[in-house]
């Protein structure tokens, strides 16, 4: 499967698609959000993600979430400017809709991806309407039972939308390493034909590296300008230095992966004749003399040409030499057979 998002492709053979999740770390400040987008771009992120929510439609007024989101929203005009700014920076901007009005905003902005967050995985009506936009959908699976993930995917498929990315996630803030169950990535890869990734809420980058090694092709991590800032998500977010390390090290890991075939690479091929052993005489051998452990060894030798392969060792023992051979000679077929 291959999914195209603007100028990027995501597949099981592509580079890892790395998302800097701004969420609401802009704190409702347009200029701060621009700085976050610029910083994420400098760090090498492929995309930045916002969280767009109408607090009146998403949260009861007596909840902590309502109080947080009430004062951390961006206007449609600001979001449109941010979209144009992101296009200029050549970084993908998209969002999670918290409700139907927010989904309508995303539709009007023509964002190229929709993210269904873990808290929305059972919001079936919102998933249906999101899937109908026929955009790639990222589904985060924190809090979810396998049956709920399967149901959400089926809902999207029923809307004739097969552009699905599923993220393994642990919805704890922060999540401890022992709570991650990263082998769940392999379970998702085995049971779904779609691209699998990982959304991280830990305080380091280690889990992301492990996820990439387990086959995650999308990595999402919270991003902030200052992880010491006050606010819900800043403390679990990577600052620019940490995020740059994340991107750089994922690219290093990818360079180590290669492909699934096992064969010597170009440089290894030049070393084969240096490191592999071959059969070489250890002393002068007269014509008709039998080969034994006293007159030949399995050695490394210099030069492009080698002696007989070690597989002929047992066949050689007791054979008579067909000619006289000097010491330190690389044995050939014509010496013996």
Report the alpha-carbon distance of residue 305 to residue 278 in Å, rounded. Answer: 10
Q: Which CATH architecture has domain 13-257?
A: Alpha-Beta Barrel (3.20)
List, for residues 132-142, the tens digit of each pLDDT value. 999 999 999 99
Segments of the chain assigned to CATH 3.90.1210.10: 266-336
Please report the pLDDT score of residue 105 as a whole number.
98
Query: Which bin fits 272, alpha (ψ -120 to 50), beta or left (φ > 0)?
Result: alpha
pLDDT in tens, 43-63: 999 999 999 999 999 999 999
CA diameter of the chain: 101
Indicate the CATH number for domain 266-336: 3.90.1210.10
* Confidence class for position 109, pLDDT limits 50, 70, 90: very high
Burial of 282 (0-12, 13-18, 19+ CB in 10 A): middle
Rg (CA), the chain: 30
Which tens digit of pLDDT belongs to each residue from 11-31? 999 999 999 999 999 999 999
pTM > 0.85: yes
């Amino acid at each position: 499967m291959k999914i195209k998002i603007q100028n990027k492709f995501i597949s099981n053979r592509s580079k890892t698609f790395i998302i800097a999740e701004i969420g609401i770390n802009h704190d409702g400040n347009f200029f701060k959000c621009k700085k976050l987008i610029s910083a994420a771009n400098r760090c090498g992120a492929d995309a930045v993600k916002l969280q767009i929510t109408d607090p009146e439609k998403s949260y009861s007024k007596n909840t902590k979430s309502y109080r947080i989101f009430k004062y951390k929203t961006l206007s449609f005009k600001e979001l449109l400017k941010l979209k144009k700014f992101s296009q200029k920076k050549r970084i993908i901007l998209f969002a999670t809709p918290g409700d139907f009005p927010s989904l309508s905003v995303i539709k009007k902005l023509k964002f190229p991806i929709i993210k269904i967050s873990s808290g929305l995985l059972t919001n079936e009506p919102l998933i249906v309407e999101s899937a109908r936009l026929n955009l790639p959908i990222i589904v985060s699976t924190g809090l979810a039972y396998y049956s709920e993930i399967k149901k959400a995917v089926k809902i999207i498929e029923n809307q004739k939308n097969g552009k699905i990315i599923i993220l393994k996630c642990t919805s704890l803030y922060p999540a401890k390493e022992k709570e991650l169950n990263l082998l769940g990535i392999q379970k998702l890869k085995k049971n779904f034909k779609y691209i699998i990734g990982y959304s991280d809420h830990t305080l380091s980058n280690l889990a992301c590296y492990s996820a990439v090694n387990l086959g995650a092709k999308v990595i999402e991590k919270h991003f902030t300008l200052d992880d010491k800032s006050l606010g819900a998500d800043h403390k679990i977010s990577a600052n620019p230095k940490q995020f740059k390390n994340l991107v750089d090290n994922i690219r290093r890991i990818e360079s180590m992966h290669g492909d699934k075939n096992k064969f010597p690479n170009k440089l290894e091929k030049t070393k084969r004749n240096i490191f592999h052993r071959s059969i070489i005489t250890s002393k002068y051998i007269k014509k008709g003399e039998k080969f034994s452990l006293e007159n030949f060894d399995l050695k490394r030798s210099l030069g492009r040409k080698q002696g007989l392969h070690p597989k002929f060792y047992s066949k050689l023992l007791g054979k008579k030499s067909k000619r006289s051979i000097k010491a330190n000679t690389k044995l050939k077929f014509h010496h013996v057979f």
